[in-house]
Amino acid sequence: MQKIQMFVKDALMSYKYKIFSTIAPFVFFLDQLTKFLILKYVTLGDAIPIIDGFFDIVHVRNTGAAFGMFAHLTNSVRVPFFYAISLLAVVILITVFKELKPTDRFSPYPLSLISAGVLGNLVDRLRFGNVVDFLSFHVRDKAIWGFQLEWPAFNIADSAITISMILVGIHLLRGK
């Protein structure tokens, strides 16, 4: 009986590693591949309309955080700040991941997504000193109630982080 319990415990423990080792590398690879393609085929500052007046593929560089926050800081402050925040996030993610209970079937998913997102953007910062963004959603041609709307450009890593936060939010709202 004890051998069966150990087998079940090992199988459940490995669940989080199976999820992480599948999702995180896939999302990281997709992020880096799309950025490679943008760097290769889209000139910095250009926009390729995909859905006219709503969605473009662009090539912009973000020196700040989400939505350009902290981009105004000098390089001597901004660069170490983002490296430190990224490394702190990685340490926290590893710690939280290691502490997951074997019965936790939810948490490996958002942790995998956010890990891939953080690492994807960290690689950009290490390589270029900024992050490559390329997805641009907007309402320019047809203003809504007199407003023209533009969401800041983002990438796959940003999307993974956002999706992980949405999953966690839904999970919390459901009382889990």
> Which entry of 46, 52, 133, 141 is annotated as an active-site residue?
133
What is the per-residue DSSP string for 32-64?
Answer: HHHHHHHHHHS-TT-EEEEETTTEEEEEEEE-S
Instruction: Output phi, psi for 70, to 5 deg.
Output: 70, 10
- 3-state secondary structure at position 28: helix
DSSP 8-state secondary structure symbol assigned to residue 101: -
Domain boundaries, the chain: 2-173
Q: What mean pLDDT comes out for the span 28-32?
A: 98
Least confident of 70-79, 103-112, 122-131, 141-150: 141-150
Nearest CA to 66 out of 118, 30, 129, 128 is that of: 118
pLDDT attached to residue 176: 62
| C-alpha span between 147 and 56 (Å, rounded) | 19
User: Which pair of structure tokens corresponds to residue 92?
Assistant: 């926290």
Please indicate whether residue 113 or residue 72 has the higher confidence score (pLDDT).
113
Catalytic (active site) residue 133: yes
- Angle formed by the axes of helices 156-173 and 2-41, nearest 10°: 140
Checking if the pLDDT of 110 tops 70, the result is: yes
Catalytic (active site) residue 158: yes
pLDDT attached to residue 175: 80
Q: How far apart are the first and last CA of the chain?
A: 31
